[in-house]
Amino acid sequence: MRLDHKVAVVTGAASGIGAGIAERLVSDGASVVGFDINGEGVRALGDRLGERGSFLPIEGDVANEEDVRRAVERSALQFGSLDILVNNAAIELIGAVVDFSEADWERMLAVNLKGVFLFCKHAIPRMRGRGGAIVNISSVHAFVSYRGFAAYDASKSGLVGLTRALALDHGRDRIRINAICPGYVDAPLMHKWLSTLTNPEEAMRQILSCHPLGRIGTVGDIADAVSFLVSESASFITGASLVVDGGMTLAGH
């Protein structure tokens, strides 16, 4: 599943799942643009990957169309094309709807859903005529709900619907668009949530007990799935939502 001579953009690349995906695509032979609002973090990733392949860090906000447009243009200018887009950037704000501010609701949807729309809007024209692959990182929250996650669930459910519609609209352009729906992953977003709980250790024990495979996911598990979906090995897969959760949702959690 080599990606030699391919150019990829990964959003939310400064840490966690995004950084792992960027590193995996570089290892697969791709030239990678890492985009993140955390400019220091994405530049640090560039320093770590500097000797392993081509990596261009870009600081910007996925919810700002001008930032997105400039990033897509720089990607094409730097590397000559755009073949792969991984929409990974996301935030997670917790609270019931009655306790949510309008600003928090709008920011959640702006990053988690509007940001994907904007990157697809500007990247797809670059892929037309040559084909491409887009992977949107959704969540098991697209299919199951938990108390306090109304806004997050709405954004991730919307992302699965957007993925299906994009796949239908752009199949004739030879652009494949799929979603990955991770469960619990050992990454900063999960640790941030655990830190808000009264007893994080007990919560982790309960989480592990709900996984038929006996463990939570790793960043590498998600990066592996992305590597497959953007490769020629997945050339007949589009509009799919791949659940990567160690069987957690099968167990009814």
Q: What is the model's pLDDT at position 53?
A: 61
Question: From CA 198, how far away is CA 75, in angstroms rounded?
Answer: 44
pTM equals 0.94
Higher pLDDT: 124 or 129? It is 124
Q: Do residues 213 and 152 make contact, with C-beta atoms less than 8 angstroms apart?
A: no
Q: What structural domains does the chain harbor?
A: 7-184+218-247 (3.40.50.720)
Q: How far is CA 2 from the centre of its chain?
A: 20
**pLDDT tens digits along 40-78:** 999 999 999 876 569 999 999 999 999 999 999 999 999
194 pLDDT more than 90: no
152 is catalytic: yes
- Candidate list 55, 79, 149, 152, residue with the active-site label: 152
Question: Partners of 243 in the beta sheet?
Answer: 181
Considering only CA atoms, give the Rg of the chain. 17
Range from 90-99, 158-167, 204-213 that averages highest in pLDDT = 158-167
Q: What is the mean pLDDT of residues 242-253?
A: 89
The secondary structure element, H or E, covering residue 86 is strand 84-87
Q: What is the model's pLDDT at position 190?
A: 83
Q: Residues near 249 by Cβ (< 8 Å), separated by ≥ 6?
A: 140, 143, 144, 183, 243
Q: What is the model's pLDDT at position 192?
A: 83
Overall size of the chain counted in residues: 253
Q: What is the model's pLDDT at position 119?
A: 98
Closest CA relative to residue 183, chosen from 229, 90, 91, 246: 246
Q: Residues near 27 by Cβ (< 8 Å), separated by ≥ 6?
A: 52, 53
Count of CB atoms situated within 10 Å of the CB of 92: 18
Higher pLDDT: 42 or 189? It is 42
Question: From CA 38, how far away is CA 73, in angstroms rounded?
Answer: 20
Surface-to-core class of residue 55, CB atoms within 10 Å of its CB (0-12 exposed, 13-18 middle, 19+ buried): buried
Q: Do residues 8 and 20 make contact, with C-beta atoms less than 8 angstroms apart?
A: no
Surface-to-core class of residue 144, CB atoms within 10 Å of its CB (0-12 exposed, 13-18 middle, 19+ buried): middle
Closest CA relative to residue 92, chosen from 222, 189, 219, 191: 189
Q: Do residues 177 and 170 make contact, with C-beta atoms less than 8 angstroms apart?
A: yes
Q: What is the mean pLDDT of residues 210-228?
A: 95
Q: Do residues 85 and 135 make contact, with C-beta atoms less than 8 angstroms apart?
A: yes
Strands 7-11 and 31-36: parallel
